[in-house]
């Protein structure tokens, strides 16, 4: 099975309105509720692709109970750890006229030292039988910035490949623990390395400890610095829609490729196609299956020269 970790889970609410106008009242035409947070989005995409998937992290309060009820309707196995604090909500307001999305993210609940200890114990147990693990998203209040580095070391001790998708100081600490993959976007990579040029930034990040670094370049696709070389994957054209969860779908593509042992060009093709197909879906954590199949044959992957 594939294990995903979402320490700061969320109940995702998507509101669709005819047009979003500042300082105005709006009539919502559709409300969609989904279990959310980056790792849960990854888990749902993996499950939709046919992989046995287990989700862990934290959930608490009435919002957490609602999240778990919704998760129970999916093929993802719920191994979340209970917290006293309530799970946060995130709100995506989709302007159906323009296709633009406005995102509002609440802070997460404060996690106590006892709850973190309980989670670490549970995580270690779940590593037994895991083929790969994804550590995704922000850290809720109360959890130290080296938490992902700690989990990476536990996964490495269990010989389980690990992908890290976070930002800021948790990314800086985590990459030094030598994960197999990290997937920052261009801004997160620039914050980590101080470099804006994609080739230099990905190579610099890899020298900091990660085995492979895959930089998300938004509508321009992905750049991957790997032990086998430097690769760029580009979608056929920019797609318009709800971008929420597109990066999480890319993580699902990369992680499934890691588990399958597919060559890097195929992994990147899968990741970029899933990302674009998610933009075409109305809610995070889902992708347009027919669009995905069509995009698989239209993503361009080229090997880039490696700077000396």
**Active-site residue list:** 248
Q: How many C-alpha atoms does 41 have within 13 Å on its Cβ side?
A: 32
CA distance 77 to 92: 25
CA distance 223 to 262: 17
Strands 77-78 and 53-60: parallel
Helix 246-260, helix 264-279: angle, nearest 10? 150
Output b/e per residue, 225-237; b: 16+ Cβ within 10 A: bbeeebbbbbbee
Q: Cβ(215)–Cβ(201) under 8 Å? A: yes
Strands 30-36 and 2-6: unpaired
Residue located via tokens 């309707």: 73
Residue 116 has phi, psi (to 5 degrees) of: -65, -40
Q: Cβ(218)–Cβ(256) under 8 Å? A: no
């Amino acid at each position: 099975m594939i294990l995903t970790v979402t320490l700061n889970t969320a109940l995702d609410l998507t509101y669709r309105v005819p047009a979003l106008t500042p300082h105005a009242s709006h009539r919502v035409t559709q409300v969609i509720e989904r279990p959310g947070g980056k790792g849960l989005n990854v888990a749902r995409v993996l499950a939709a692709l046919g992989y046995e998937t287990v989700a862990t992290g934290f959930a608490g309060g009435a919002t957490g109970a609602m999240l778990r009820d919704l998760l129970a309707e999916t093929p993802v196995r719920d191994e979340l750890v209970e917290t006293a604090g309530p799970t946060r909500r995130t709100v995506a307001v989709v302007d159906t006229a323009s296709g633009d999305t406005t995102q509002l993210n609440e802070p997460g609940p404060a996690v106590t030292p006892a709850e973190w200890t309980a989670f670490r114990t549970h995580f270690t147990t779940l590593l037994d039988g895991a083929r790969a693990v994804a550590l995704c998203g922000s850290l809720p209040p109360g959890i130290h910035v080296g938490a992902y580095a700690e989990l990476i070391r536990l996964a490495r001790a269990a010989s389980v490949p690990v992908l890290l998708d976070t930002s800021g100081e948790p990314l800086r600490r985590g990459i030094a623990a030598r994960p197999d993959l990290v997937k920052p976007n261009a801004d997160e990579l620039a914050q980590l390395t101080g470099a804006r040029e994609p080739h230099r930034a990905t190579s610099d990040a890899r020298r900091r400890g990660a085995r492979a670094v895959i930089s998300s370049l938004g509508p321009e696709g992905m750049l991957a610095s790997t032990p086998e070389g430097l690769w760029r994957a580009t979608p056929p054209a920019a797609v318009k829609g709800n971008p929420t969860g597109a990066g999480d779908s890319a993580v699902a593509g990369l992680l499934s490729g890691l588990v399958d042992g597919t060559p890097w060009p195929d992994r990147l093709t899968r990741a970029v196609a899933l990302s674009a197909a998610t933009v075409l879906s109305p809610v995070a954590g889902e992708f347009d299956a027919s669009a995905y199949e069509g995009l698989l044959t239209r993503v361009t992957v080229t090997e880039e020269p490696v700077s000396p």
